[in-house]
Amino acid sequence: MMLTRNREVKEAILQYLIVIVIAIALTWIITPVAVLPVIIISLIFLLLFLYITKKRYLKLKELSMMIDEVLHGNDKVDFNDFNEGELSILQNEIKKMTIRLREQNEALISEKIQLSDSIADISHQLRTPLTSINLISSFLNEPELSEDRRLQLSRELNRLTSRIDWLVNSLLKLSKLDAGTAIFSKDEILVKSVVQKAYNLIAIPMELKGQEFCYQEEGAVRYVGDISWSMEAISNILKNCMEHTEVGGKLMVTAKETGIYTEIIIEDNGPGIELEDIPHLFERFYKGKNSSSDSIGIGLSLARKIIQEQNGTVKVENGIDCGAKFTIRFYKGVL
């Protein structure tokens, strides 16, 4: 290792030599017989300085090589312990940097796997309705098709395109939530208002099924959150309850506020949830035993994600009267 390629070392050696020359000159003037011991002592100090400096630079070179290994993908480098002050501090900082790089690398790999899985899920979910649309389009081109059959196929076409539209929008929202790019406002929300807006989205299907909707609250219940995202979450849960409740059934929403949280309970008087489905009900693309053929298994997953982003929790169980019971809590403090 060439110490002299380092500028600060060359400057230090030069300064040493100047001091030695001055010391020798002064000694020659004052006590000529002491010149030889002064030269010997000065050279010993110079050699000692060079030895210590070389040793220090070798350790720096060793650290540099370790960093180079980390940058080239070897995340299992074991940094040796340095007992000296500044080198020890540098070693600790490099260790922290290595751990951070390792965590970022693992997160990046995880995100790639998640993105790949999401693309595969989207592709799988879109394939079936797109195949049906292609078939319907070919049927509609048949010249001998009756008017009734044509209207029936048109309605089916509209249903499928609406389903694709809902699916794509839901998946995009989930992707935004997964990527952490969704923006949530923090407004004071009246629960009655957000539940009413969510109910309006399913009011017509509920009316067609002859189902009843009830809302009760204790006082003016409110919480801090984003009304648009909250409406999305609550409407998805209401929609799930509606789909699993018989014709003429009932959906009940109750709300209350405590000093710790705001609670919204959504219940139906349907057949309830199979016990084996309950632990998996919020998993993405999970379809329970009682789910309809149109169910995709994404609405409840999206709802839970939205609620969690607003410092909330949601759990599901079977109610006392056998219907499904969803309990949402928005907490006022950090969980």
Q: Is residue 105 part of a domain?
A: no
The long-range contacts involving 79-86, CB below 8 angstroms and separated by at least 24 positions, are 84/56, 84/59
Q: Residue 268's pLDDT is what? A: 92
Q: Residue 126's pLDDT is what? A: 79
In this prediction the pTM is 0.64
Using an 8 Å Cβ cutoff, are 298 and 239 in contact? no
Question: What CATH number did the domain enclosing 139 receive?
Answer: 1.10.287
Q: Residue 267's pLDDT is what? A: 94
Q: Residue 293's pLDDT is what? A: 64
Hey, which residues does 256 pair with through a beta bridge? 263
Question: Number of structural domains, the chain?
Answer: 3
Domain check: are 136 and 246 in the same one? no
The secondary element (H helix, E strand) that includes residue 188 is strand 187-190
- For the beta sheet containing 312-318, the strands, ordered from the edge strand earlier in sequence to the opposite edge, are 212-217, 250-257, 261-268, 324-331, 312-318
Residue for token pair 């109750």: 254
Domain check: are 199 and 327 in the same one? yes
Those residues whose C-beta lies under 8 Å from the C-beta of residue 275, and which sit 6 or more positions away, are 318
Domain check: are 200 and 265 in the same one? yes
Domain boundary among 179, 196, 229: 179
Q: Residue 230's pLDDT is what? A: 94
Q: Residue 80's pLDDT is what? A: 60
Structure tokens that stand for 185 in this block: 């406002």
Q: Residue 247's pLDDT is what? A: 92
CA–CA distances in Å: residue 245 to residues 32, 88, 117, 314, 323: 112, 67, 32, 20, 8
User: Which regions of the chain are under pLDDT 70?
Assistant: 1-4, 73, 75-85, 118, 290, 292-295, 334-335
pLDDT digits (tens, 9 = 90+) for 93-146: 877 887 888 888 888 888 788 777 767 777 777 787 788 888 888 888 887 778
Q: Residue 212's pLDDT is what? A: 94
Q: Residue 262's pLDDT is what? A: 95
Q: Residue 221's pLDDT is what? A: 92
State how far the Cα of 170 lies from the Cα of 172, in Å rounded to an integer.
Answer: 5
Structure tokens that stand for 303 in this block: 């709802």
Q: Is residue 103 part of a domain?
A: no
Three-state SS sequence of 38-60:
HHHHHHHHHHHHHHHHHHHHHHH
Q: Residue 133's pLDDT is what? A: 86
Domain boundary among 26, 58, 77: 77
Domain check: are 143 and 21 in the same one? no
Q: Residue 320's pLDDT is what? A: 74
Using an 8 Å Cβ cutoff, are 107 and 167 in contact? no
Q: Residue 52's pLDDT is what? A: 87
Q: Is residue 162 part of a domain?
A: yes
**173 exposure class (CB count in 10 Å sphere: 0-12, 13-18, 19+):** middle
State the average pLDDT for the chain.
84
Pairing between β-strand 250-257 and β-strand 212-217 as defined by DSSP bridges: parallel
Residue 28 belongs to domain spanning: 3-77
Q: Residue 134's pLDDT is what? A: 86
Domain check: are 197 and 321 in the same one? yes
Q: Residue 77's pLDDT is what? A: 64
State how far the Cα of 313 lies from the Cα of 26, in Å rounded to an integer.
Answer: 84
Half-sphere exposure of 292 (CA within 13 A, CB side): 10
Structure tokens that stand for 47 in this block: 């050699």
Hey, which residues does 253 pair with through a beta bridge? 215, 266
CA–CA distances in Å: residue 311 to residues 260, 282, 329: 12, 17, 9
Q: Residue 2's pLDDT is what? A: 64
